[in-house]
Structure 1
Amino acid sequence: MVFAIALPMTLAFLTTPLLGLVDTAVVGRLGDAALIGGLAVGAMLFDIVFTAFNFLRSSTTGLAAQAMGREDWVEQQAIFWRALITSAVVGALVVVASPVLIWAGLIFMSPGENVGAAAQTYLAIRVLSAPVALANYVVLGFVLGQGRSGLGLLLQTVIYGTNIVLSILFGLYLGWGLPGVAWATVISEIIGCAAGLLIVISGFRAVARPAWSKILDAAALKRLLSLNTDIMIRSLGLMFAFVWFTRLGAALGELQLAANAILMNVFMVASYYLDGLANAAEQIVGRAVGANHRPAFIRAIKLTTLWSFVCAGVTTLLFLVFGDRVITMLTTVPEVRELASVYLPWAALTALTGALAFEMDGVFIGATWSRDMRNMMLIVLPFFVLAAHFLGQAFGNHGLWAALNIFLAGRGVFLMIVLPRRTRETFVACHAGSERLA
């Protein structure tokens, strides 16, 4: 059951870093390191905003899975409509506030003049996709909560497959460059949103249709708001860590920033690869909590943790062996290739150091233990900020990558420490001997 859910979503999530690889390759072949840096900064700032609202996917997955475990079909539909309404409001606000957000983000990142101009061009176009991109989070979260990972794979393939094709067409063949890459994203998000809403809504059963009073129930909205706020804080903390890493890397120069941008695609491949198993944990754990079935909960943790580390080990090994070839495909700039090869082992290691963090995220999202995710992030993040600063000063880019690996490992360990206590508190009936946590 774990791989029946995880494999389709692993393939689905791999389309995201694949898109990043294609976008970087398209811009990298323009022969300008400033454009590579501009894409990296622009994509990072865009991800800050959108990762902050990733709760739309995470909370929808956990709540839908728990409702499914209780066999509450009316509440499942109500969860979908609450989240979709939220995504529409938030998406519209992001578009309206985009000039201020872009201005503030570029001031914080402090890129060079050429990099900043490229990033602003990219962001001004891509932000137009905000409402549909957030709606896609809701659709994906809902189908994952239902265990329909095959449909999730289909929808992600539609979005990112279209994006990849259009990025190559607009960016290279039509000669639009970086703006073409941004427009490709906007159009693909619209197409994916239309397909997702059509499939999900057409599958709703009329007998389980919730009344508006059910959708707008005060207690349910309060729980959703609390859950979303906690996950948003956690997600902002996570993105701040990557922004801080990018900002300190930018201070080392354009070439160093471009090399790190190439290597972050290596990390993203590993992260989305592990997200497939984390999503299996979300769905199975959510059902177990909804049904108050502790044995299924424990088994899900054991299986997904084991396979997370196995897959992470394989991913690290593959990048250590073939990483230089990947770098060569992503950029034609010799200096960027050389620098990226130097720091490749650090990037490859992120799969192993981040494996437990991804796994625990899946467990805590499925169980809707959002407060613990928030608290652990607020504990670990200050240590990373300080470590990146001082290690970066002492050892340059090697220090930055070392600090990033420490941060990833620390998140997983701190969540694992909290896990036994939260398990005891959540399940009202348990059989302590044979089912205790390993």
Structure 2
Amino acid sequence: MFRLFAAWRHAPTHRRVWALAAPMILSNLSVPLVALVDSAVIGHLPHAHQLASVAVGGTLYTLLVWVMGFLRMGTTGFAAQASGRNDGGTLRQVLLQGLLLAFGFALLLSVVAQPLKGFALQLMQPSAELDDLAQLYLNTRLFGLPAALGSMALIGWFLGAQNGRAPLAILLTTNLFNVVLDLWFVLGLEWGVAGAARASVIAEWSGLAVGLALTRGALRQNPGRLDRQALGRWVNWKPLMAANRDIFIRSLALQLVFFLVTVQGTRLGDTTVAANALLLNGLLLTAHALDGLAHAIEALSGHAIGARNRLELRRVLTVAGGWSLLASLAFGLFFLFGGTLFIQMQTNIPDVREMAIAYLPYLAALPLVAVWSYLLDGLFIGATRAREMRNAMLLAVAIALPLGWLLQDLGNHGLWLAFLSFMLLRGLCLGAIARRLQRQRQWFEPPHASAVVHTPKGP
């Protein structure tokens, strides 16, 4: 306990955490604001199926993007450890590898999305109006997929390089463009659901352009030489690909849960899926804010592990963990006492408002339940221990799915109870594995199949 108190009192660690967390919180908060703006703009159109189509189409697009979360998370861990070793050559290698993977997977997913879209909508059994608009929205958003994945790789690399301002510039550019164009295309030009999708595509390409421009300055601050021949050897791809594979499986399992929540909500009716979408916007708001602190843990814990500094690692986890707990409590109180206004800002459809407000207590409980999984994800990513993170997620899903099936007779209440249980299980499973690694003193040992391959630093 004394060591934790001493770690919390270390002022330089507070400054380092907030130097990364503050810009990431600001930029992350702008991400759910896009969904909030889409919901608010489309939610003031006359029909519930218009709002529901953005929720369904947006969920399918998010599924494609978020299962590629390894492009950010894997890149952060390897870049952070390279930064801890002052290895500019490896930083350059990780940057180029991340971008090549992003554009390659964007091409692959654009092909996969078509059969996936048909299967998913058939499984949801939506109304004819909802089906048509959801397909239109998704097909348009796919034009922005290469930019979205490229930006993810850039954000992960900048974080690993201890640069929190560049991700802020990328995300703010993307999301501010989206807000302005959303209002113009939907309300000004009256393009409806298609206008919301077009705004997002233009915004995503704008954010990627800003990110690519900022890499030059970051590389100047981390001198080194890229070994171009190393990129042609599998041994230099294997560690990153192994970590990315495990993070992909983990992300796929997580997105499966969110997809099933949307599927079950859709089966309960257009009003239910629309109300749940408004509530999940609240979860996105919370998650992206708390992820700002989790991102700081990723970068700083990876840096500490790369430098093999145990004291630095303890200080980072203590400071970022303390602030995360305080922030999650603040969000819970906000949704408990201000949730009605939060829902009313998003839609004026009476049935959707009434249902969403009735389920606000579940949203208020989510931050305190979910915060632990966000924190521990950050630690595992910084340590490039993707396999253990994957195993924890699969175990949580394996326990939560039967629970959700047992609770389905409770309707939407059962759906939210199952979802809360899943978020709690995520933290418990990660915590158990983290405790085992701590007892065995393995945090500073290279994870299986994830040791970083060094490249020359150059003259």
How high is the TM-score relative to the length of structure 2?
0.91
Match of 1:208, SS? coil
- What is aligned with 1:220? 236
The reply to whether residue 280 of structure 1 matches residue 328 of structure 2 is: no
Distance in 1, matches of 2:262 and 2:205, equals: 29
Match of 1:209, SS? coil
Asked whether the equivalents of residues 89 and 227 of structure 2 are also in contact (C-alpha less than 8 Å), the reply is no
The reply to whether residue 409 of structure 1 matches residue 424 of structure 2 is: yes
The reply to whether residue 181 of structure 1 matches residue 196 of structure 2 is: yes
Tell me the CA shift for residue 220 of structure 1: 2.4
Counting only pairs closer than 5 Å after superposition, residues 8-87 of structure 1 correspond to structure 2 as 8-87=23-102
Gaps of 5+ in 2: 1-15, 447-459
Counting only pairs closer than 5 Å after superposition, residues 214-253 of structure 1 correspond to structure 2 as 214-253=230-269
| 1:152-195 alpha-carbon deviations (Å, 9 max, x no partner) | 11211011111111111111111001100000011011111111
Quote the RMSD (CA, aligned, Å): 1.5
Distance in 2, matches of 1:271 and 1:426, equals: 26
- What is aligned with 2:396? 380
Asked whether the equivalents of residues 356 and 412 of structure 1 are also in contact (C-alpha less than 8 Å), the reply is yes
Asked whether the equivalents of residues 31 and 332 of structure 1 are also in contact (C-alpha less than 8 Å), the reply is no
Counting only pairs closer than 5 Å after superposition, residues 299-378 of structure 1 correspond to structure 2 as 299-378=315-394
Tell me the CA shift for residue 297 of structure 1: 1.3
User: Which amino acid in 2 is paired with 1:268?
Assistant: L
- What is aligned with 2:279? 263
Moved more, 420-429 or 273-282: 420-429
Distance in 2, matches of 1:169 and 1:389, equals: 43
User: Which amino acid in 1 is paired with 2:330?
Assistant: V
Tell me the CA shift for residue 202 of structure 1: 5.2
Tell me the CA shift for residue 203 of structure 1: 4.1
Asked whether the equivalents of residues 380 and 386 of structure 2 are also in contact (C-alpha less than 8 Å), the reply is yes
- Which of structure 1's runs of 4+ aligned residues deviate more than 4 A? none
User: Which amino acid in 1 is paired with 2:443?
Assistant: T
Tell me the CA shift for residue 336 of structure 1: 0.6
Match of 1:425, SS? coil
- What is aligned with 2:13? none
| 1:334-384 alpha-carbon deviations (Å, 9 max, x no partner) | 011111110011012111110001001111111111001111111110222
The reply to whether residue 110 of structure 1 matches residue 125 of structure 2 is: yes
Asked whether the equivalents of residues 392 and 399 of structure 1 are also in contact (C-alpha less than 8 Å), the reply is yes
Distance in 1, matches of 2:110 and 2:264, equals: 28
Tell me the CA shift for residue 322 of structure 1: 1.1
* Identical-pair percentage: 36
User: Which amino acid in 2 is paired with 1:426?
Assistant: W
Tell me the CA shift for residue 390 of structure 1: 1.8
| 1:7-45 alpha-carbon deviations (Å, 9 max, x no partner) | 110111000111110000111010211111111111111
Tell me the CA shift for residue 300 of structure 1: 1.5
Quick one: which of 443, 446, 458 aligns to 1:426?
A: 443
The reply to whether residue 157 of structure 1 matches residue 167 of structure 2 is: no
Match of 1:147, SS? coil
Match of 2:237, SS? helix
Distance in 2, matches of 1:299 and 1:54, equals: 27
Asked whether the equivalents of residues 245 and 388 of structure 1 are also in contact (C-alpha less than 8 Å), the reply is no
Counting only pairs closer than 5 Å after superposition, residues 168-207 of structure 1 correspond to structure 2 as 168-201=183-216, 203-205=218-220
Tell me the CA shift for residue 266 of structure 1: 0.8
Asked whether the equivalents of residues 400 and 421 of structure 2 are also in contact (C-alpha less than 8 Å), the reply is yes
Asked whether the equivalents of residues 167 and 184 of structure 1 are also in contact (C-alpha less than 8 Å), the reply is yes
Distance in 1, matches of 2:335 and 2:370, equals: 15
Asked whether the equivalents of residues 169 and 211 of structure 2 are also in contact (C-alpha less than 8 Å), the reply is no
Asked whether the equivalents of residues 267 and 348 of structure 1 are also in contact (C-alpha less than 8 Å), the reply is no
Quick one: which of 144, 154, 163 aligns to 1:129?
A: 144
User: Which amino acid in 1 is paired with 2:442?
Assistant: E
The reply to whether residue 167 of structure 1 matches residue 182 of structure 2 is: yes
Distance in 2, matches of 1:283 and 1:225, equals: 19
User: Which amino acid in 2 is paired with 1:80?
Assistant: L
Match of 1:43, SS? helix
Distance in 1, matches of 2:325 and 2:193, equals: 37
Gaps of 5+ in 1: 430-438
User: Which amino acid in 2 is paired with 1:128?
Assistant: F
Moved more, 397-406 or 206-215: 206-215
Tell me the CA shift for residue 60 of structure 1: 0.6
